[in-house]
Amino acid sequence: MTFLTYGPYTYTGLQSIIHNQAQPPAARLRPSSPATATMQGRLRRLLPAPPPSALLFRSLSSSPPPKGGGDGGSGVPVKQVTRGNLAEALEELRGRVREATFVGLDLEMSGVTSAPWRDTFELDRDDVRYLKLRDSAERFAALQLGVCPFRWDPAKSAFVAHPHNFFIFPRKELSDCPSHEFLCQTTSIDFLAKYQFDFNTCFREGISYLSRAQEEEALQKLNLLHQDQTSASSTTSEGDGDMPLERAADILFTERMKLNFKEWRDVIVSKPDSHLLGNTKCAAGQFQTVFFKMRPAIMLNGFSSHQLQLIEQVLRKNFRDLVYVCTFGEDDTSEKRVVYSDTDEDKILLMKDVQEDLLKSREARVKSAIGIRHVIDLLSSERKLIVGHSCILDIAQVYSKFVGPLPSSIKEFALSIHKIFPHIADTRHLMSVNQAVQKLMKQKSKSLSSAFSFLCPASPSYAMKPSSLSPVKIEVEGDETKSSCFISGAKHEAGYDAYMTGCVFAQLCTYLDIKFDQLSPQDNLATNNKLQKHINLLSPSWNSGTVIDLSSGMERPEPGYMRRYPAPVYDNIVLIWGFMSKVRPKEIKDCICKVFGLGSVISVFSIDSTAVLVQFKKPESVNDFLDLKAVLERTDSAISILHPLSTILEGGQTRAAKYDTYRDICSSSESKYLFADQAEAVCATSENQLQENVDDNLISGVHQSILDGTVLASVNKGDGTKSGSKNEGDADITCQHILDALHDGRALIGRRIRS
Amino acid sequence: MAAPRAAAAAAASAKQVTRRNFAEAVRELGAHLESCDYVAVAAQKTGAPTGWRRALPVDTAETAYLKAKLAAESFQPLQIAVCPFLLRNSSPSTLVAYPYNFHIFPRDELQLGMPSYSFSCQSSYLSTMANDGFDFNMCIYDGISYLSRVQESFARQKVFTPHLRPLLPSQSTSVADSVFKSRIKSRIMHWRKGYAEPNKKDDGSLVSSFSRLILGGETYGSRPSISIDVCSDQQVQLVLEAANHISDDLVPLVVPDKAGAARTVCVIFTSSKEDKNLLLMDIQQSTEEKFRGFREVIDLLSSSQKPIVSYNCLNDLTMMHSKFLAPLPPNMHEFMCSLKMVFSNVVDVSHLWRQIGPLRKAKNIQAALSYLQRQYFVPIEIKIPEQDGTSGVTKNEQNVLRITKLFAKLSNLLKISPEYQLKSGEQYAAVEEYCNVFYPSCMVEDSDDVDFANEPDTAKAVSTDNIIFLWGFRGKSVKELKSYLPGLHQIFSEDFEVKLLDKTCSALIFRNSDTAMQLLKEISSESPSLNSFFSEGLKAAGFEVYRKVCRLGLWDSDLAEALEGVSSEVAASTLSECNSSQIYWNSSLMLDLKEYLEC
Regarding whether B210 and B139 lie in a shared domain, the answer is no
- Three-state DSSP at B146 gives strand
Mean pLDDT of A460-470: 48
- CB contact (8 A) between residue A185 and residue B117: yes
* Chain A residues with CB-CB distance to B108 below 8 A: 186-187, 190
Return the CATH number of the domain spanning residue range A2-7+18-210+371-557: 3.30.420.10
Question: Per residue, what are the HEC states of B27-80?
Answer: HHHHHHHHHCCEEEEEEEECCCCCHHHCCCCCCCHHHHHHHHHHHHHHECEEEE
Radius of gyration of chain A from its Cα atoms, rounded to whole angstroms: 35
What's at A334, amino acid-wise?
S
Report which of B292, B304, B293 is spatially closest to residue B39, judged by C-alpha positions.
Answer: B304
The domain segmentation of chain A, as residue ranges, is 2-7+18-210+371-557, 219-368, 570-754
Report which of B457, B451, B554 is spatially closest to residue B507, judged by C-alpha positions.
Answer: B451
Cα(A464)–Cα(A439) distance, rounded to whole angstroms? 14
Residue of A nearest to B598 (CA): A304
Regarding whether B424 and B299 lie in a shared domain, the answer is yes
Cα(A465)–Cα(A455) distance, rounded to whole angstroms? 12
Beta-bridge mates of residue A476: A27, A161
CA distance A755 to chain B (A): 16
Angle (CA) B220-B223-B225 rounded to 5° is 60
* Chain B residues with CB-CB distance to A110 below 8 A: 121
- Three-state DSSP at A369 gives helix
A692-712 residue pLDDT tens: 444 444 444 444 444 443 333
Would residue B157 count as lying in a domain?
A: no
Report which of B433, B590, B543, B575 is spatially closest to residue B62, judged by C-alpha positions.
Answer: B543
A35-74 residue pLDDT tens: 333 333 333 333 333 333 333 333 333 333 444 333 445 6
Residue B232 has a pLDDT of 81
Residue A587 has a pLDDT of 86
Regarding whether B305 and B215 lie in a shared domain, the answer is no
Decide if B365 contacts B348 (C-beta within 8 A).
no
Report which of A421, A367, A431 is spatially closest to residue A394, judged by C-alpha positions.
Answer: A421
* Chain A residues with CB-CB distance to B598 below 8 A: 304
- Three-state DSSP at B120 gives strand
Residue B213 has a pLDDT of 63
Question: Per residue, what are the HEC states of A405-473?
Answer: CCCCCHHHHHHHHHHHCCCEEEHHHHHHHCHHHHHHCCCCCCCHHHHHHHHCCECCCCCCCCCCCCCCC
Q: Residue B425 is part of which domain span?
A: 15-147+294-432
Q: Could you say which DSSP state residue B144 is in? A: B
Residue of B nearest to A686 (CA): B565
Decide if B322 contacts B72 (C-beta within 8 A).
yes
Tally Cβ neighbours within 10 Å of residue A233.
16
Regarding whether B82 and B136 lie in a shared domain, the answer is yes
Q: Could you say which DSSP state residue A7 is in? A: S
- CB contact (8 A) between residue A685 and residue B554: yes
CA distance A472 to chain B (A): 38
Cβ–Cβ contact A415 with B under 8 A? no
Peptide bond into B358 cis (omega under 30): no
Decide if A660 contacts A611 (C-beta within 8 A).
no
CA distance A186 to chain B (A): 5
Regarding whether B231 and B309 lie in a shared domain, the answer is no
CA distance A486 to chain B (A): 20
**Closest residue to A193, CB basis, from B121, B141, B453:** B141
Would residue B438 count as lying in a domain?
A: no
Report which of B536, B531, B563 is spatially closest to residue B547, judged by C-alpha positions.
Answer: B563
Residue that finishes a domain, picked among B277, B308, B334 = B277
- CB contact (8 A) between residue A114 and residue B453: no
Regarding whether B531 and B423 lie in a shared domain, the answer is no
- CB contact (8 A) between residue B136 and residue A304: no
* Chain B residues with CB-CB distance to A669 below 8 A: 556
Cβ–Cβ contact A65 with B under 8 A? yes
Tally Cβ neighbours within 10 Å of residue B174.
10
Residue A708 has a pLDDT of 43
CA distance A4 to chain B (A): 15
Cα(B385)–Cα(B28) distance, rounded to whole angstroms? 13
**Closest residue to A114, CB basis, from B118, B140, B448:** B118
Residue of A nearest to B49 (CA): A181
Beta strands in A289-329, from DSSP E residues, in sequence order: 289-292, 295-299, 322-328
Q: What is the domain count for chain B? A: 3
Cβ–Cβ contact A171 with B under 8 A? yes
Write the burial class of residue A630 (CB in 10 Å: 0-12 exposed, 13-18 middle, 19+ buried).
Answer: buried
Decide if A369 contacts A487 (C-beta within 8 A).
no
Q: Which residues contact B232 (CB under 8 A, 6 or more apart)?
A: B262
* Chain A residues with CB-CB distance to B136 below 8 A: 199-200, 202-203
Lowest mean pLDDT among A277-291, A501-515, A568-582, B190-204: A277-291
Regarding whether B244 and B189 lie in a shared domain, the answer is yes
Greater pLDDT, A16 or B346: B346
State the 10-residue block means of pLDDT for chain B, 599 residues long: 37 77 89 90 89 83 88 92 83 82 89 86 89 89 90 80 74 80 84 69 60 64 80 83 82 78 81 83 76 89 89 89 92 88 86 77 79 80 68 70 86 70 49 71 38 42 82 80 81 81 85 83 80 82 87 84 77 48 48 28
Cα(B250)–Cα(A636) distance, rounded to whole angstroms? 56
Regarding whether B140 and B181 lie in a shared domain, the answer is no
Would residue B455 count as lying in a domain?
A: no
Would residue B445 count as lying in a domain?
A: no
- Paired sense of beta strands B93-97 and B380-383, if any: parallel
Among A3, A117, A118, A179, the strongest candidate for a mutation testing the B interface, having the largest count of B CBs within 10 A, is: A179
Residue A51 has a pLDDT of 37
- CB contact (8 A) between residue A116 and residue B105: no
Residue A103 has a pLDDT of 93
Decide if A74 contacts A490 (C-beta within 8 A).
yes
What's at B545, amino acid-wise?
V
A400-443 residue pLDDT tens: 999 989 999 999 999 999 999 999 999 888 888 877 777 777 76
Cα(B352)–Cα(B364) distance, rounded to whole angstroms? 13
Distant-in-sequence contacts of B472-478, Cβ < 8 A, 24+ apart? B472/B536, B472/B537, B472/B538, B472/B539, B472/B560, B473/B506, B473/B536, B473/B538, B474/B537, B475/B503, B478/B451, B478/B506
Cα(B347)–Cα(B367) distance, rounded to whole angstroms? 19
A136-149 residue pLDDT tens: 999 999 999 999 99
**Closest residue to A172, CB basis, from B116, B117, B124:** B124
* ipTM passes above 0.95: no
Angle (CA) B317-B321-B327 rounded to 5° is 140
Cα(B246)–Cα(B235) distance, rounded to whole angstroms? 17
A93-123 residue pLDDT tens: 999 999 888 999 999 999 998 888 888 888 8
Decide if B589 contacts B57 (C-beta within 8 A).
yes
- Three-state DSSP at A537 gives strand
Query: Which of 3.30.420.40, 3.30.70.330, 3.90.850.10, 3.60.110.10 would CATH assign to domain A570-754?
Result: 3.30.70.330
CA distance B20 to chain A (A): 16
What's at B22, amino acid-wise?
F
Q: Indicate if the alpha-carbon torsion angle A257, A258, A263, A264 is positive or negative.
A: positive
Considering only CB atoms, which residues of chain B are within 8 Å of chain A?
46-47, 50-51, 76, 105-108, 113, 116-124, 126-127, 129-131, 135-137, 140-141, 448, 450, 453-454, 479, 552-554, 556, 565, 568-569, 595, 598-599
Cα(A490)–Cα(A61) distance, rounded to whole angstroms? 10
Would residue B215 count as lying in a domain?
A: yes
Q: Is the pLDDT of residue A5 over 60?
A: no
What is each CA distance from B362 to B56, B370, B378, B431, B588, in whole angstroms? Answer: 17, 10, 18, 22, 11
Residue B426 has a pLDDT of 46
- Three-state DSSP at B461 gives strand
Regarding whether B134 and B55 lie in a shared domain, the answer is yes
Angle (CA) A623-A628-A630 rounded to 5° is 95
* Chain A residues with CB-CB distance to B47 below 8 A: 181
3-state helix, strand, coil in chain A (%, to 5): 45, 15, 40
Decide if B353 contacts B406 (C-beta within 8 A).
yes
Cα(A69)–Cα(A497) distance, rounded to whole angstroms? 17
Cα(A634)–Cα(B443) distance, rounded to whole angstroms? 50
Beta strands in A334-388, from DSSP E residues, in sequence order: 334-340, 385-388
- CB contact (8 A) between residue B106 and residue A305: no
Regarding whether B315 and B231 lie in a shared domain, the answer is no
Residue of B nearest to A173 (CA): B124
Mean pLDDT of A293-316: 81
Greater pLDDT, A628 or B578: A628
- Paired sense of beta strands B38-45 and B308-310, if any: parallel
Mean pLDDT of A351-379: 85
Cβ–Cβ contact A521 with B under 8 A? no
Cβ–Cβ contact A170 with B under 8 A? yes
Would residue B153 count as lying in a domain?
A: no
Regarding whether B187 and B127 lie in a shared domain, the answer is no
Q: Which residues contact B61 (CB under 8 A, 6 or more apart)?
A: B332, B440, B581
Regarding whether B505 and B594 lie in a shared domain, the answer is yes
Residue of A nearest to B563 (CA): A685
- CB contact (8 A) between residue A179 and residue B130: no
Would residue B585 count as lying in a domain?
A: yes
What is each CA distance from B343 to A7, B153, B326, B350, B426, in whole angstroms? Answer: 42, 20, 14, 18, 21
Cβ–Cβ contact A110 with B under 8 A? yes
Cα(B276)–Cα(A750) distance, rounded to whole angstroms? 49
What is each CA distance from B303 to A342, A702, B34, B219, in whole angstroms? Answer: 76, 59, 10, 37
Average pLDDT of chain A?
74
What's at A532, amino acid-wise?
Q
